Amino acid sequence: MRAISWLGTRSSIFLMSTARRRLCENVRWPMRDLHLSHLAKSLGVDCQNGDAVLRGLAIDSRAVKPGDLFVAIVGDRVDGHDFIESALANGAVAVACARPIDTPVPSIQIADSNQVCASFGRLMRADFGGVVIGITGSAGKTTAKSFLESICSGAGSTVATSGNQNNELGVPLTLARLSENPEFAVVEMGASRKGDIAYLKSMAAPQIAVLLNALEAHVGRFGSLDTIVETKGEILDNLTEADTAVLNADQLHYASWRKRAAPAKIIAFGEDSSADVRLLDTVDHGLDGSDITVDMLGTRVALRLSIPGKAGVTNALAAMAAAAALDIDPDVIAQGIEALSPVEGRGNTIQLDRGIRLINDCYNASPSSVMAALDTLNKARPPRTAVLADMLELGDDGPRYHREVGKHLSNLGIERVIAVGELSAHIKDSCSVQALHFSDTNELLADCPDFLQDETILVKGSRGMQLDRFVTSMTSSLGDAKC
């Protein structure tokens, strides 16, 4: 049962956010039409075969909607130019291409498709009168985005990042949907290297910047944790007094991020006593979620989360803090938090035959997220099995991180682990529980072990390890719950 009570006030933050909301409500106007000629001018090229009004952006001919600009991307395995006719059949009104085309359709020619998409996104953002919320971090971005999307949808029209479209192509696809003239846009931002967040932020220009954390995920790609901290912090650069930074008060880097965000307003979330949105109490129900009590800038909120684990609680706090910056009613915030169920591949539970429960958390993995997932699995009744594949992009420290996971498994006493991949052999060798090892997912699928009645199975690994194939195999054979 949700309960909301008034504890006090931190009126300076609420007055700031109310002013912003009133500005948006009073000044918002219908989005102006974006013409191909406008885009061409921003790119310094000419239109061919006339002009067109652009309603949206597509880089996949199958996803084209009427009125879209289709960007023909030349990839390693697929050339978008081969699908121009298909895109036009689906309603594309113009084409951006890297080489001349024979089709008499409004078009622009430019070699860099990323530049086309970025310019499209920037033009849409420049004409948008609502509020953009940007979210980044090493872990939890999609869950925090989904929480905030659920909240904002209860307060007004909202667009948000779809799936994993959080890179240099995905962010423009989200910004293209600003043509719908929503009140809120929630934009997730990921990074592969230093400078990526700065680049994405230059397109999205969020008035509210949410920084969840900086963890060891992908440290092999970045080179060091310090570089990850620096990169994630790029979302805080060049904020103004009218903007708000939402920061994790429990992170070691909180103080430096707070300075970096100046002169923006700060709303902190977490368990630390300094947090503006602070966790007061939690009752962990394992796979069934948590009951939490939160002091949200003076409003006491008690609610139930369906997202399991401590990470779910942290992401909910982040979303509540961002929603508080928007001055969304506390009851609407609570309703949005309680309405969200786990996203597929990110901790959703699948009920199989014979009482077997499968926790599908195979979208990605880092040492901290695997440890947290194992803690959640440990709250389930025995028997329990952890199916863990390699955590990739950890650099030279990869073996050590996998050994630490094995030791954590031993400390928890989870009954069995199935390790998949070369690095995961270190998990098997470092734990004292029953352990099986498979060289890759293909070998696992070819010789899948049996699972017991009422067993709980956690499936987690880096996306490149393709454990989603194991999940599909399990769910397609419900009768005996074998691969």
Which DSSP string do the residues of 71-137 spell out, in sequence order?
A: E--B-SS-BGGGGHHHHHHTT--EEEESS---S-S-EEE-S-HHHHHHHHHHHHHHT--SEEEEEE-
**Distance (Å) of CA 60 to CA 99, 117, 123, 280:** 18, 13, 21, 46
Structural domains of the chain, ranges and CATH numbers in brackets: 3-27+128-339 (3.40.1190.10), 34-111 (3.40.1390.10), 348-475 (3.90.190.20)
Distance CA 87, CA 337 (A): 38
Identify the pLDDT of residue 12: 39
Query: Is there a binding annotation on residue 63?
Result: no
Low-confidence ranges of the chain (pLDDT < 50): 1, 8-26, 479-483
- How far apart, in Å, do the first and last CA atoms of the chain sit? 40
Is 479 annotated in a binding site? The answer is no
Tokens of 99: 């080489």
pLDDT computed for residue 23 by the predictor: 40
Q: How far apart are CA 49 and CA 39, in angstroms?
A: 15
pTM score: 0.85
Cα–Cα distances in angstroms (integers) from residue 386 to residues 284, 326, 389, 416, in the given order: 20, 40, 10, 6
**Local structure of 448: helix, strand or coil:** coil
Q: Any binding-site annotation on 141?
A: yes
3-state secondary structure of 416: strand
Please name the amino acid found at residue 43.
Answer: L
Q: What pLDDT score was predicted for residue 335?
A: 96
41 vs 313: CA distance, rounded Å: 46
Per the CB < 8 A criterion, the answer to whether 140 and 148 are in contact is no
358: closest CA among 375, 344, 372, 340?
344
Whether 302 and 292 have beta carbons less than 8 Å apart is answered as yes
In sequence order, the β-bridge partners of residue 284 are 290
Task: Provide CB contacts within 8 A for 53, sequence distance 6+.
Answer: 33, 34, 35, 36, 67, 93
Tokens of 153: 């949808």
Rounded to 5°, the CA angle 457-364-384 comes to: 15
Specify the pLDDT at position 286: 86
Q: Is 155 annotated in some ligand binding site?
A: no
- Does residue 138 have a known ligand-binding role? yes
In one letter, which amino acid is 138? Answer: S
Q: How far apart are CA 107 and CA 90, in angstroms?
A: 16
